[in-house]
């Protein structure tokens, strides 16, 4: 079983739609959690950290459920520029950082 698993996607949504991505992790001792965005053939870039109480950054909302070992990302009012691959990242107890395989989002006009 992979340590970090994500919805396989792809997600194809119209502009203005709300879309949600899910991620599960296997190591209950994991320390911290992040969502990254990756554009084609580019390096991953931090979208947002995920805090225990949940957090919001504009149109983006991240949630963490430690009991279920589950992380989510909600994007409201999708824009064309949101088209990218979204990567779930988990910091393990040994400071290793593990990535999910990513979920590809395409927002269409």
The residue (of 77 and 96) whose beta carbon lies closer to other proteins is 96
Angle at 106 between CA 37 and CA 4, to 5 degrees: 45
Of residues 57 through 96, those in contact with other proteins by CB under 8 A are 87, 89, 91, 94-96
Minimum distance, C-beta of residue 27 to other proteins, in the bound complex (Å): 13
Q: How far apart are CA 3 and CA 26, in angstroms?
A: 5
- Report residue 16 as tokens: 């203005």
Minimum distance, C-beta of residue 37 to other proteins, in the bound complex (Å): 12
Of residues 15 through 34, those in contact with other proteins by CB under 8 A are 31-32, 34
The residue (of 36 and 78) whose beta carbon lies closer to other proteins is 36
Which of 14, 29, 41, 67 binds other proteins (CB under 8 A)? It is: 41
Ordered DSSP codes for 1-65:
--SEEE----EEEETT--EEEEEEES-TT--EEEEEEE-TTS--EEEEEE-TT-EEETTEEEEEE
Q: Which parts of this chain interact with other proteins (CB under 8 A)?
A: 3, 6, 31-32, 34, 36, 41-46, 49, 51, 87, 89, 91, 94-102
């Amino acid at each position: 079983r992979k340590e970090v698993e994500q919805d396989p996607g792809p997600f194809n949504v119209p502009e203005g739609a709300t879309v949600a991505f899910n991620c599960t992790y296997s190591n209950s001792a994991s320390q911290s959690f992040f969502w990254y965005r990756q554009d084609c053939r580019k390096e991953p870039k931090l979208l947002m950290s995920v805090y225990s109480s949940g957090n919001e950054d504009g149109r983006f909302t991240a949630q963490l459920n430690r009991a279920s070992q589950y992380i989510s990302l909600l994007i409201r009012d999708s824009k064309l520029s949101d088209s990218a691959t979204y990567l779930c990242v988990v910091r393990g107890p040994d400071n290793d950082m593990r990535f999910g395989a990513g979920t590809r989002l395409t927002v269409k006009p």
